A and B are shown apart, each in its own frame.
Chain A
Amino acid sequence: MILTAELLQATLEHLVLTYTALTAGILVTIPLIFLSLYSARLASMIMRFASLVQAVPSFAVVAFIVPLIGIGFMPAVLAIMLRVLLPTIKNTYIGLFNVDSTLIEASKGIGLTDFQILKHIRLPNAYPAIFAGIKFAAILANSIAVLTALIGGGGLGPIIFEGLTNFNTVKILTGVLPVIGIALFLDFSFSRIEQRLTPEYLRK
């Protein structure tokens, strides 16, 4: 049997890994998005790249990190972050740019500056999409955090893979159930926040 303390420790590590990577991903997304607001070409390049990389399996991305920067916690964070970037960038971009063009015209017409349009028109419109992106990213981060055990990232992954090697069902479940629990919790809590943040007029 695995000690409860050990499981708690692993879960904690798993959460730290997941959230560090998620936060890093969001922090990288913000400047990219602001840059793309000023350069349509950069925006389309980022979007193309994001869509392209999204097709690559997570396992390949995780493995690919090893030859580039080695193994351990930081490589694991980087691997997760790379994966998480795509949904956050894509959704933020879609949210900011899929604003009714007549609305933008009208805002210009009443004399709003570009920054004011961004703040008062584009951002509120983009909240639901941005949040859906972050929610998806959080669930994805949790999932890839398991895989990064293969490159020494720690967390709940090692328990699962140890169970796999020894074909120890109890051990596998000990690792998998908290992972699923975290996923469902993330889904639930982010959905709640998403609902709160959705502007009144967009709610169903």
Chain B
Amino acid sequence: MISGKLFERIESLRLENVTKKYGENFAVRNLNLEIKGGELLILIGKSGSGKTTVLRMMNRLIEPDSGSISINGIDIRKFDPIRLRRNTGYVIQNIGLLPHLRVSGNIGLIPKLEGWKEEKIQERIQDLLNFVSLPPQVFTDRYPHELSGGQQQRVGLARAMVMSPPLFLMDEPFGALDSLLRAQLQDEFYRIKKELGRTIVFVTHDINEAFRLGDRIAIIDNSELVQVGTPQELIFSPSSNLVAEIVDSKRKYRHIDALKVKDLAQPLDKRYILDSGLSAASVLDHMSAEGLEIALVFDSPENSGRVGLTDVMKAVSSGKSLDEALKPLPLFSPETPLLEALLRLKTGGGSIGLVLENDKPGGILFSDRILQNLV
């Protein structure tokens, strides 16, 4: 048993002159970075830029060759690596659920090793599954290969949260998901992030994701930190052409007023569209069969909405109709000005809108795409 909290809260996570070499090649070169307590810092860069190495040094999966990393002023080399990792939530792109353990076994692994009482472990698992919107009665006893990609990702998140770590390290957690599902999970993650109020270091190569989730963004290129700042700072005062290119600053000169919804709408896979007359149970069947995590209900402009797989499950298990599970789905015509569309998406609280062509679903609009173009 390696119990006990190393720290209740992260005040600061500081990297000083950190260097890591593999043979002759630098993976990380002389990196200085301070992460503040409670913020979500994005590490962004191309593949091979060294961003993942930086992340993996923070829980001592990799030891730097020189320089130091400290949490709340204490060098992390003073911590037992096992204990440090149990105080850190870790989520990776291919999720890494252990195939031989059920959902409960995956989430409860570390508490069990820490010697928690069985009831306490079970209670914690239930709470976490509810928290990540997976009904426990459905998912507790499933094996990872019985889950969809999005569900696996949620379980991965629940597992990372089980010890209530003050620090989360996330390596492209949504990288393997399709764009609609990614948008949905990013929405949920944004909510979770605010509820948790924890310090999060988040690796991605997707600038949209970075803008959407990050408090600050650190751009890493060629093993070196290029610039770190809030999205606004990066956009309005990029330190180099490279940064400008990554954040696509030039777009701010575009005439937003001239852009219409059709300019940024993306094609929509018809599988996602459901008729509104269907029962919750048949929708659940359809979504499971097609492997959908989210579906859009539409048969007339008055009768439409979006629904997630877990909402449908909840509706089925509590005997509600599909209509009660629907969330609002903003509708746009291709000619709607983008500014107006954005405003409606913002007030609606969602990030997905349906674009109608001749009163038929024709495309889909993601708010992060607009945001990026509007900056």
Is chain B in direct contact with chain A in the complex (CB below 8 A)? Answer: no
